[in-house]
Amino acid sequence: MLQLAPGWNASEFLPEIIGFNLAYEQLQLHLLITACELNEPGIDPYYFTLHITMDNADSGHAQRAVQAVLDTLPRFGDSAGFWQRVHDGSRLSNAGVGTTEVIAGFDMQREVEAIFSRKRLTGQSAHSDYCRVAGRSVNDWLAQPDGIPAFLAALEQAGWIKRHAPVGESRFWKLLQGDKAEMFGVFSPYELQVIHDWIRGDASADGQAHDEPALLSGRRRPSFRAHSRLVQHQAGVTNPGLLKVLETSHEEAPDHDLQAPKAELAACLDAEQQRQLLVRAMSSDLHWTPAGLYATRRFMQSTG
């Protein structure tokens, strides 16, 4: 919305737009964070690393944004007023909560309590009465809307949770993960990671994933780049011809998620109907799916 509003009135708000673009094209902290964090679990961060290099301040978009300001300055007689408007546009680009504010505002204890509070509604009648902590049944603990902080403290006092220690030493964690974990699947991967980091305390600064085998083996999960290099190396050693195929082939592997949309497109002979199918597949709720990405490529090919 912030980009669309001035863009709709470009002739009137040109200095503000230039200032907005000036700030927007500088190297942003969230790009560096995203590239790093996607790479750690093995997800290709290339889209973000590409923008880090493309937006460089010497010859990239950041430099072009600076040049746009200098090129437009002579068109405005009131240079002081122009600079003030550029400054206002720059501030508009940074409106809202920024990356550092989000990081500083994250409270691990509060997040853990919020996670357990959400689970309280579905778990308050799911435990047997013999499940007791500090003399009270788990159902009784979970029945109290504001009782989660005290419940977590009671789990610690009873030894079910050992804070600032490896998660394997906490009996509660063994209920969530591992062989015969009675509560397997109760928490989402994100929730497990938060609980995992909360239990480990300061040691969680190493970024260890909640399901990472490094806890036992001492080895970390390979990053996307490391995994890609390993796959190519293994392919070259075991089958030199396969390495050449990996490097040159642009053919996609069969994807069952794409069979239905491809068949639907093939069955549609009318060009306008095909276009409507592609547009629908590119909508915000489907764009991220294999079908949405495939539709995007097809749409770009059809429009040149």
Other beta carbons within 10 angstroms of residue 67's beta carbon come to 10
Q: How far apart are CA 121 and CA 145, in angstroms?
A: 9
Question: Where does the pLDDT of residue 275 fall: very low under 50, low under 70, confident under 90, or very high at 90 and above?
Answer: confident
- Entry field: residues in the chain: 304
**Dihedral, CA of residue 169, residue 174, residue 176 and residue 180, to nearest 10:** 170
| CA 255 – CA 285 distance, rounded (Å) | 20
130: pLDDT strictly greater than 50: yes
Mean of all residue pLDDT scores within the chain = 84
58 against 211, higher pLDDT: 58
112-129, pLDDT tens digit by residue? 999 999 999 999 888 888
- pLDDT above 80 for 218: no
- Give the pLDDT confidence score for residue 109 in this predicted structure: 96
d(CA 184, CA 194): 16
Average confidence (pLDDT) over 171-191: 90
Query: Which residue type sits at 90?
Result: S
Residue 248 has pLDDT above 60, yes or no: no
> How buried is residue 170: exposed, middle or buried, by Cβ count under 10 Å (0-12/13-18/19+)?
buried
Sequence letter at residue 83: W
Worst-scoring range by mean pLDDT, 30-34, 43-47, 115-119? 43-47
With a cut of 70, say whether residue 169 has pLDDT above it: yes
Task: Provide the percentage of residues in the chain whose pLDDT is more than 70.
Answer: 84
CA pair distance 21, 3, nearest whole angstrom: 9
Q: Quick check: pTM over 0.75?
A: no
Per-residue pLDDT of 54-96, as tens digits, reads: 989 999 999 999 999 999 988 887 788 999 999 999 999 888 8
Q: Which residue has the higher pLDDT, 190 or 285?
A: 190
Q: Is the pLDDT of residue 211 over 70?
A: yes
Least confident range of 119-128, 177-186, 229-238: 229-238
Which pLDDT value is given to residue 221?
58
Q: Which of 192-196, 212-216, 248-252 has the lowest mean pLDDT?
A: 248-252
Residue 25, pLDDT above cutoff 80: yes
- Greater confidence (256 vs 174) lies with 174
Interval 198-222 mean pLDDT: 72
Cβ neighbors of 292 (< 8 A, separation 6 or more) are 281, 282, 283, 286
Domain ranges of the chain: 4-105, 108-211, 222-251, 256-303
Higher-pLDDT residue of 90 and 40 is: 90
Task: Assess whether pLDDT exceeds 80 at residue 284.
Answer: no
> What is the structure's pLDDT at 217?
41
Query: Which residue in this structure is represented by tokens 């995007």?
Result: 296
Residue 159 or residue 289, greater confidence? 159
d(CA 113, CA 107): 10
Residue 219: pLDDT over 70: no
